Structure 1
Amino acid sequence: MHGLGLEGFNPDSEREAALAFSITVEADEQQIPQHHHRKGQLILALSGAITCEVENARWMVPPHHAVWLPGNVAHSNRATPGAQLCFLFIEPGCVQMPEVCCTLKVSALVRELILSLAARGFRERQQPATLRLVQVLFDELPRQPQMQLQLPVSSHAKIRLMVETMEQAPAEWQTLGQWAQRFAMSERNLARLVVKETGLSFRRWRQQLQLILAIRLLIGGEPVQNVARTLGYDSTTAFITMFRKGLGQTPGRYLAVLGQG
């Protein structure tokens, strides 16, 4: 299971409608290589955060959110050190879930249902009470709202290099012009490439990456002023404006809501 802390157990070998496991991410298990499951998988972040990458997108999962991965979708995961995660594996056809990957905002009820299921052993999972719990979980899961916490990416070498470089040094790589010069391309042709590969303009694509980086840093305890500086903003106010426009609330309010979840 690629260091998932499940002691070699393969959830795909079981036919139970729902299987759940809670883990703490060890320092040497932060990166989980690409793999896939026959079952659909919900990765719930209880504390810390996890980034999940599929073929054409990266999904950010802050606390009290989850990423949904339909069955047989190849993915890799990267978690923050010490992150508390819960994996929920769902047998195909048992509940109507999105057909594509997405980030869900998970209610307190759904979170507690998953944690309760994770705490039950094999015999207890066969009891009628657990089967009723799973049915309530399946009633609630389709009602969880989707959140726009994904970054479109592609296998194109230039797009991959842009993402990796801007993740490492976001303040240094701010403009389309910088990248056009790096690639010896015109800005117009590079702008067209970004739209073709990601579906977003360079400006919107870069801001989405900044939002994901900002959430990761804020969850890690960085002050808002430091996050703004790291992302290359001249003023904290400008960063807060961008954050509010992207997520509908200020960084302080966003963190407060996460803490209440």
Structure 2
Amino acid sequence: MDSTTAEDPSLTWDIDSIARQVTALNASQVAKDWEHALHHHRKAQLIYSVRGILNCEVDRGVWIVPPQCAIWIPGDMPHSTRGSGETECYCLFVEPDAIEGLPTQCCTLSVSPLLRELLLKATGFEQLYAENGPEARLIAVLLDELRDAPIEHLHLPMPQNQRLRQLAQMLLADPSSKTSMAEWAKCIGMSERSMSRLLMQEVGMSFGRWRRQLHIILSLRRLTNGESVQAVALDLGYESASGFVTMFRKAMGKPPARYLLERAATAGSAGDATPGSGIVLAP
């Protein structure tokens, strides 16, 4: 896959040395898929996707970030990130003690219109903005909104057990497989009961729910790229589009068409508010 390196300030700047509670940056505007290898920094990081799908991997899971959502990565957590298709994203770097109540685990956050506008405004600040000036007051409101941002359940937890990791890789390689749980267990040298118990211990989900979560993540990536519900449903092994839509609605609270329409509407208003973008962007 061709890739274009995005300008991630966390990789080229000494983010941890900037003596402010919050630093907001226009992280990247790239035309093709890109990927950043495993890295970490002391400050926590919020990566907000204006358009395009972002994927973030940490040791215990994979997160997908659709347009108008953000990934929260606590400080000192090794992570890799990847953008699919044309992307535009913004980064917020936050001192761990900036405000109480911020998430302590990696998670996907829903970004409200107010939080989005505060983030976009903050990207125009000087690095060393006045700590007692209007910029600092806006940052305080931004932190309040960040603390209250609802969590989106777009997470595929990854087990630590090597045989379960092998199972995860096989499911990722063939997500449409109708192989039964008993057959999967046999493939990785476990009993069905042991695999079920260990999965619940390590990822907190049953095998069926874990596989459905994988389907949500894979389908969002493809649907946002313009593929049809019918094509995605069949490729993921569903007998019909209606079966896939039912699964998606149960998981996300709304059918895929409405979910994507609402995201697209929010993305359009965000595009109007994005300062100096000048780029038509298409996860």
Question: Is TM > 0.5 for Structure 1 vs Structure 2?
Answer: yes
Q: Secondary structure at the match of 1:71?
A: coil
Q: Which residue pairs with 2:281 in the alignment?
A: none
1: distance between equivalents of 2:229 and 2:181?
A: 26
Structure 2: runs of 5+ lacking an equivalent: 267-283
Deviates most, 32-41 or 175-184: 175-184
Q: Which amino acid aligns with 1:92?
A: P
Report if the CA contact (8 A) 2:159-2:199 is conserved.
no
Report if the CA contact (8 A) 2:167-2:188 is conserved.
no
2: distance between equivalents of 1:3 and 1:34?
A: 14
Q: Which residue pairs with 2:251 in the alignment?
A: 246
Q: Which residue pairs with 2:272 in the alignment?
A: none
Report if the CA contact (8 A) 1:219-1:255 is conserved.
yes
Deviation at 1:256, TM superposition (A): 1.0
2: distance between equivalents of 1:104 and 1:148?
A: 9
Q: Which amino acid aligns with 2:106?
A: C
Q: Which amino acid aligns with 2:68?
A: H
Q: Secondary structure at the match of 2:171?
A: helix
Aligned counterpart for 1:233 among listed residues 233, 238, 242: 238
Aligned counterpart for 2:53 among listed residues 49, 55, 71: 49
Greater than 6 Å deviation, 4+ residue runs: none
Q: How does 1:46-195 map to 2 (within 5 A)?
A: 46-96=50-100, 97-122=102-127, 125-126=129-130, 128-172=133-177, 174-195=179-200
Q: Which residue pairs with 2:277 in the alignment?
A: none
Q: Which amino acid aligns with 2:162?
A: A
Q: Secondary structure at the match of 1:48?
A: strand
Deviation at 1:154, TM superposition (A): 2.2
Equivalent residue pairs, number = 258
Q: Which residue pairs with 1:16 in the alignment?
A: 20
Query: Is the alpha carbon distance of 1:196 and 1:122 closer, same or farther for their aligned partners in structure 2, counting shifts above 3 Å?
Result: closer
Structure 1: runs of 5+ lacking an equivalent: none
Report if the CA contact (8 A) 1:46-1:83 is conserved.
yes
Per chain length, whose mean CA-contact separation is higher, i.e. which structure has more relative contact order (CA < 8 Å, sep 6+)? 2
Report if the CA contact (8 A) 1:4-1:32 is conserved.
no
After superposition, give the CA deviation of every residue in 1:33-91 in whole Å (9 maximum; x if it has no partner): 11111111111111111111222121111111111111111211122132111110012
Q: Which residue pairs with 2:43 in the alignment?
A: 39
2: distance between equivalents of 1:143 and 1:98?
A: 10
RMSD of Structure 2 on Structure 1 (CA): 2.0
Q: Percent identity?
A: 38
Report if the CA contact (8 A) 1:61-1:149 is conserved.
yes
Does residue 260 (structure 1) correspond to residue 265 (structure 2)? The answer is yes
2: distance between equivalents of 1:98 and 1:114?
A: 18
Deviation at 1:197, TM superposition (A): 2.3
Q: Which amino acid aligns with 1:258?
A: R
1: distance between equivalents of 2:14 and 2:234?
A: 44
Q: Secondary structure at the match of 1:83?
A: strand
Q: Secondary structure at the match of 2:20?
A: coil
- Compute the TM-score of the two structures, normalised by the length of structure 2: 0.84
Q: Secondary structure at the match of 1:49?
A: strand
1: distance between equivalents of 2:91 and 2:166?
A: 31
Report if the CA contact (8 A) 2:6-2:30 is conserved.
no
1: distance between equivalents of 2:127 and 2:91?
A: 16
Report if the CA contact (8 A) 2:43-2:95 is conserved.
yes
2: distance between equivalents of 1:197 and 1:4?
A: 35
Deviates most, 224-233 or 69-78: 69-78
